[in-house]
Structure 1
Amino acid sequence: MHKAFILASKHVVALKAALFGDLAAEVPPKPEDVALLTSEAVDGDLLALLARHLRLLEFEASKDAVLVFNNLLRRSAGGRTAVARVDADGVLETLVGGYEVNSLALNCGSMLRECLRHEPLVRALLWSPLFWRFFSLVGVADFDVASDAFLSFKEALTRHKAVITAFMADRLDPFVSAYNGLLSSKNYVVRRQSLKLLGEMLVERSNFGLMTHYIASADNLKLIMNLLLDSRRNIQFEAFHVFKVFVANPNKTPPVATILAKNRDRLLSYLADFLTDRDDEQFHEERLMIMDEIRGLGP
């Protein structure tokens, strides 16, 4: 097995040298070598092989494999040709699965995010059972792995707006249910990151369907109001940016309007002293605006 490690690593080093040249000796790569490798990425299964055999590589060689994979994916007609022919399911399954092996996780994450620069691969991931594994991966015990998984999760949900709009229209209910599970997590980092991302997604125009669906729900409002009362100031701050979307909506559903009206006095009292020492002029302008909106609710 040790010989396999050494042999595989030597091959990757050779690929890197062909693609990048000898940086130490300032020897540039040969154009014909680069063209050949790019052709193999397009017409062969070089990208899939690199992903699948990452676990066979020594530490430094695995980093080289990431460089080669990412660079070839970009070179191949801007990624379009290679992406069209690559075994998307196989590559994505290999890379997402890499998060479950700590020694592979960060390298696989880097390669996965390079894949997610390309619309067909984002589409393949979102409509695959693989996507739903991220709701667990972002909360794993290893902080570095969880953080990297969240980066990939966010990339999948934010980069290609047309794909994300179609995904939300098709998978809205299960997505919101799973996402609320992140907001209810006992893990502080998961709650904070998920709240921040939700706040960003709700104000993105292309996510109009998600926004109108989410803020129509009284149960969602209750969840966000509880997070507004969280003991952690950063959770409170991110929850406010979701809460304000409920309040600012001119077409509140009756259940949402009723909850806000019933809690009007308590909300006003709470918001009057809410993070008042925060050095953020825009936040305080929004806080006062939301308070004005709440004052106008109810009898």
Structure 2
Amino acid sequence: MSFSFFKPSRPKTPPEVAKAIKDSLNALDTKTVAEVKALEKAMEEVEKNFVTMRCMLSGDGEVEPNVEQVSQLALEISKEDVISLVVHKLPILGWEARKDLVHCWSILLKQQVDSKYCCVEYIEKHLELLDFLVVCYDNKEIALNCGNMLRECIKFPSLAQYILNSASFVLFFKFVELPNFDVASDAFSTFKDILTKHASLVAEYLTGHYDEFFDLYEKLLTSSNYVTRRQSLKLLSDFLLEAPNVQIMKRYILEVRYLKIMMTLLRDSSKNIQISAFHIFKVFVANPNKPREIKIILAKNHEKLLELLNSLSGKGAEDEQFEEEKELIIKEIEIVSRLQSLKS
């Protein structure tokens, strides 16, 4: 007596997976999906192919991914223009498909073939994809997916540099204040990565775009939104006090308008904001080459400043160092004030 069994379907090869994804994404074109059923079928096909891609890239929980297949799939996805397709089709993909895509995106970008990041190289030749991802912050349905994908891209200096110097970078100053809290927070995470992941690139950018950048940044520091003020102040101290930005910091602490902003933030109702403002304010005061205008403002406001500083205290383990720094800054303000009164 003989038994016949169904043969298990042969697993797809990386070129087949890449082609299947490409074909199913192309089937989402509006011309071919006039009918709801056709669209649903096409969407199911996309989701099925994304699951196959995810399993090939990260295994299925039981079987580990095959390293060679992972590299080959990254190469095929680049060769078949699948990267462009997935980015441009993002707005019409379903929730599950977008989740799988974001998971696969980070793995694909890290794949090296012949010592080259093939997917990163593809994006370098299609930089408009980065602009598209940035602009997607305006679409709250896909904003968080795009944010995740952007932050993966920013890990690579060439892609981070493009975003920094692109016209779309200034959009972040708007996106970090969007009314949707989750989207605004995500945009701020991306903004922070752009300004902190590659210090030398940022120093070069700030040198060339100093006025434009800090004019826009001033609006964040003086925002009526508490979260925006707090986050942007903390970020400012994070990147301004980085060693490669020393020349930018030296320039920043010569400007009266920025000293006035820090003095205003020292009076903020939030203790966290006051302490963050102090860490930048102290650099203005400790600067041995203070311009005359800065000295005049410090002397003029010295009583209020001393009162403010005396009421400030650090947090936990930082207490001791904070108190020491505060004492030094108080002494310096008193010296400046005395010298200015002698001159007048």
Q: State the TM-score bracket (shorter-chain normalisation).
A: over 0.9
Aligned to 1:83: 120
Aligned to 1:233: 271
Contact 1:9–1:61, Cα closer than 8 Å, also in 2:
yes
Alignment deviations for residues 232-268 of structure 1 (CA, whole Å, 9 cap, x no partner): 2222121111111111111111111211122222211
- The alpha-carbon deviation at position 183 of structure 1 amounts to 0.5
**2:331 is aligned with 1:295:** no
- The alpha-carbon deviation at position 138 of structure 1 amounts to 0.3
**2:221 is aligned with 1:183:** yes
**2:231 is aligned with 1:199:** no
CA distance in 1, matches of 2:126, 2:329: 45
Aligned to 1:66: 102
Count of residue correspondences: 296
Opposite residue 90 of structure 2, the aligned amino acid is L
Aligned to 1:20: 58
Contact 2:267–2:308, Cα closer than 8 Å, also in 1:
no
CA distance in 2, matches of 1:264, 1:111: 48
Deviates further, 49-58 or 254-263: 49-58
Aligned to 1:36: 72
TM-score, normalised to structure 1's length? 0.93
Deviates further, 83-92 or 204-213: 83-92
- The alpha-carbon deviation at position 285 of structure 1 amounts to 2.1
Cα separation, partners in 2 of 1:296 and 1:44, compared to 1, 3 Å: farther
* Runs of at least 5 residues in structure 2 that lack an aligned partner in the other structure: 1-38, 340-344
**2:221 is aligned with 1:221:** no
What RMSD, in angstroms, separates the aligned Cα atoms of the two structures?
Answer: 1.8
CA distance in 2, matches of 1:161, 1:79: 23
Aligned to 1:257: 295
Identity of counterpart residues, as a percentage? 41
Opposite residue 328 of structure 2, the aligned amino acid is M
Cα separation, partners in 2 of 1:206 and 1:289, compared to 1, 3 Å: same
Aligned to 1:285: 324
CA distance in 1, matches of 2:275, 2:190: 24
Deviates further, 149-158 or 41-50: 41-50
CA distance in 2, matches of 1:76, 1:92: 20
Q: Secondary structure at the match of 2:127?
A: helix
Contact 1:260–1:294, Cα closer than 8 Å, also in 2:
yes
- The alpha-carbon deviation at position 9 of structure 1 amounts to 1.4
Aligned to 1:247: 285
TM-score, normalised to structure 2's length? 0.81
Contact 1:5–1:56, Cα closer than 8 Å, also in 2:
no
Contact 2:71–2:111, Cα closer than 8 Å, also in 1:
no
- The alpha-carbon deviation at position 161 of structure 1 amounts to 1.6
* Runs of at least 5 residues in structure 1 that lack an aligned partner in the other structure: none
Contact 1:62–1:107, Cα closer than 8 Å, also in 2:
yes
Q: Secondary structure at the match of 2:111?
A: helix
Opposite residue 155 of structure 2, the aligned amino acid is R
Alignment deviations for residues 147-170 of structure 1 (CA, whole Å, 9 cap, x no partner): 110010010011112211110111
**2:273 is aligned with 1:271:** no
Deviates further, 37-46 or 111-120: 37-46
CA distance in 1, matches of 2:294, 2:84: 49
Opposite residue 28 of structure 1, the aligned amino acid is E
Aligned to 1:50: 86
Q: Secondary structure at the match of 2:75?
A: helix
- The alpha-carbon deviation at position 112 of structure 1 amounts to 0.3
Contact 1:43–1:82, Cα closer than 8 Å, also in 2:
no
Aligned to 1:208: 246
